[in-house]
A and B are shown apart, each in its own frame.
Chain A
Amino acid sequence: MRVHVVCLSLAFLVSVWVVPGADAQTDRTADAVAAFEEGTAAAGEERWSDAIPAFRRAYALSHSSLALFNAGYALRALGRFVDARAAFDEVIATSTDADLIGEARTYRDEVAARIAQLHLEGLAEPTRYDVRLDATHVEDDGTRPLRLELDPGAHSIQVHLAGFLPFDWSGELREGAVERLSISLAPVPSGSTVLDEPWFWVVIGVVVVGAAIAIGYIADDAAQLRPAGDRTVVRL
């Protein structure tokens, strides 16, 4: 990759420096080249987190597909496959360099296969839910099951709907995994419940004390829990 980046950086320099223009354009081009070189240096040292913003800045200033390709490559190196695929897709759509497009296609297909999918099942079709992926809102477009694409790693899902208790899930997804998550929302208990009544707790207290006494009389060997006789015992 290091050689590849250097080669592309030379091509980038050539492609942007040959563009003539006014002073403002020249400054913009110089900034783009500086950003590209910064990204190239970072990539050469495998400092991918530094390389990504530099290449993105170079792309924003120059619209060079080379800069975007390198941003995609750095995103791929960090395991950010969803963003990497988007970058390669844009290279394929906008570049006029056949070789670069071919290479972008190869990487695009590779990272696409490594993206994990989480299918949220059990959501009602006409309803729109407040879905949050890693605490970030995700649009519920009504597709059922709702398919989310994620980079591999640890994630959390929260599903909210007015009048229902929120659904929470957290877990880790492998590269290319397709997992199905069954969503079921329980309605929020309405208004005052029996739990708010003092007499309820008095009754519960009497029952608990009575039960404790009864248990003591009935089971004088209750020091150890004993599985019920008709059950398969699983000792963990």
Chain B
Amino acid sequence: MRRLALVVAVLSLGGCARDGVFDLDVALEPDPTGVRPWRLIEITDIDGIASSWDQLTFATASTRTVLVDDRTTLRFSVVSEREATEVSVRVRYCRTQSCSDSPISSEPGYRVTFQRSIWIGRRTQYTLVVGPPTEESVTVDQVCRCEVTGCNSGVPATPTSGICVGTADRCSTTATHPCDVH
């Protein structure tokens, strides 16, 4: 019976999984001034170019949390069946829970685009550290595909280290990510 289960499991791993899971931990630093204690985290897979961040639709997810004194880590599992698209995360620093006190364009924020984080049938991991708001500025960042670690086959487990080979460029699409090896 156990052998049968093994065969079924292996066949399933190879042919049936249609989602990729990206375990994203967002570590949030509080605002030392206390002016903007609320964080709104928004995630999308619409290509995030700097010019259109304000127009992006982040209808897929939003999580609000308030920070007081200590660093708070929010844990997400981003699930997608489209592995080629970028995943973009916008963190808004808000004065109120509703985040409606000021327009997005004029509030400080943190925006990051993951060059590649979703592999179908695979599970990847990344910890994003988001610092406190700095003045009224927006920080734009990018995480290269080779900085996303882990490549498990379907069952939540301890992530393995991501090791890219083939090039020293962490953003290079020719580098072989563990998830590229099937």
Contacts and interface: CB of A to CB of B under 8 A. Distances in A.
A174 B140 CA distance: 14
A137 interface: no
B149 to A, nearest CB: 14
Contacts of A6: none
Contacts of A177: 50-51
Contacts of B155: 215, 218-219, 222, 226
Contacts of A60: none
A236 B57 CA distance: 11
Contact of B170 (A165, A212, A222, A226): A165
A88 to B, nearest CB: 25
Given A182-B140, A224-B16, A172 B61 contact: no
Contact of B9 (A166, A172, A216, A234): A216
Interface residues of B, number: 55
Nearest to B181: A208
Given A216-B9, A216-B10, A227 B21 contact: yes
Contacts of B163: 195
A19 B79 CA distance: 75
Q: Specify the main secondary structure of chain B where it touches its partner.
A: mixed
A171 interface: yes
Nearest to B11: A223
Nearest to A177: B51
B61 A232 contact: yes
B12 A223 contact: yes
Given A165-B169, A174-B51, A227-B21, A222 B63 contact: no
B165 interface: yes
Contacts of B51: 152, 171-174, 177
Contact of B137 (A180, A189, A230): A180
A233 interface: yes
A185 to B, nearest CB: 10
Given A220-B5, A234-B60, A225 B79 contact: yes
B171 interface: yes
Interface in A191-236: 195, 212-213, 215-228, 230-236
19 contacts: A169-B142, A171-B51, A171-B140, A173-B50, A180-B139, A181-B140, A186-B170, A188-B168, A215-B155, A217-B2, A220-B5, A220-B6, A224-B16, A225-B79, A226-B21, A227-B23, A227-B79, A228-B23, A232-B63
